Amino acid sequence: MSQVCNHDTEEIPTAVPPLVADDFSDATYTVQDESARNSIMNLIKHPWTIVFFVGFIAYLAIRSVYARRTKTEQKVHRQVDRLETALLLMVIPTSLLLPLLYLFTPLLWFADYRLPAAAPWLGTLVMLAAIWLFWRSHADLGQNWSVSLEVRSGHQLVTGGVYRLIRHPMYASIFLWGLAQGLLLPNWLAGWSALVPFTVMYFVRTPREEEMMCQFFGEEYRQYMLRTGRLVPRVVKNTKP
């Protein structure tokens, strides 16, 4: 008898290719790539955040230019006490860091919410007005501007330009900016991080600032207070500051 070997029915084991280092590097790259995409997701997920970011850069650029121009001015009075320092530390980090955390990290996603469709359009208009008034306030003050409560050598009382009708147009511009930020960023923390702390700062700091101005400019500043409003033009002329 002849024996027939049926090789067709035999199962030939398939060799499993060994894992090589490139496989792990590809997997690592995929995770890193996904992380990178997540880090800028808010910036591209909501197109209006790009509008905000452009305005944010313009806002910082204006402040940086005038800060450099006035850096070497001699100071004759500087009222930077613990309260003033606390106010600056409350406003500056929240108004700068929280929007950036929202735009470039997922850390604040838990506070997201949906804005009405018209809100970003309104926010863009308010932002443009805020940036213009912010720039114009710095330009009109010139060398008399400072970030803290200071009086410079040769300090002049500016009552022209945007200061003709209101005493604190720069503060008005920051209020407008805070409103625009809330209308453009759909996040409870990042959106309103500028407006809330600055409101506290405004009501604490402004009386101190005006008292300092009265000390150095006397009756000239008191008369200026009578014919101007703090944030909006005075409708009825007052008889006392």
Give the pLDDT of residue 36: 47
How many residues can be counted in the chain? Answer: 241
Domain presence at residue 25: no
Measure the CA–CA gap between 236 and 57, rounded to whole angstroms: 38
Domain presence at residue 168: yes
- Tokens matching residue 203: 């009501």
**Residue 29: Cβ within 10 Å count:** 10
Model confidence pLDDT, tens digit, residues 15-38: 545 544 444 444 444 444 444 454
Model confidence pLDDT, tens digit, residues 101-111: 999 888 998 99
Measure the CA–CA gap between 241 and 221, rounded to whole angstroms: 9
Domain presence at residue 148: yes
Give the pLDDT of residue 145: 82
CA atoms within 13 A on the CB side of 213: 22
Q: Which residues of 65-75 are buried (b: 16+ CB within 10 A; e: fewer)?
A: ebeeebeebee
CA atoms within 13 A on the CB side of 203: 5
Provide long-range contacts, Cβ within 8 A and 24+ apart, for 41-44. 41/106, 42/102, 42/103, 42/104, 42/106, 42/109, 43/103, 43/104
Q: What CATH number did the domain enclosing 217 receive?
A: 1.20.120.1630
Give the pLDDT of residue 31: 41
Segment-wise mean pLDDT, segments of 10 residues, the chain, 241 residues? 48 50 44 47 77 95 89 75 87 89 90 93 97 96 83 87 95 96 94 92 93 93 95 75 53
> Are residues 108 and 185 in contact, defined by beta-carbon separation less than 8 angstroms?
no
Domain presence at residue 199: yes
Domain presence at residue 236: no
> Looking at the 3D structure of the chain, how many domains does it have?
1
Domain presence at residue 37: no
Domain presence at residue 19: no
Domain presence at residue 162: yes
Measure the CA–CA gap between 169 and 166, rounded to whole angstroms: 6
User: Domain range holding 210?
Assistant: 58-227
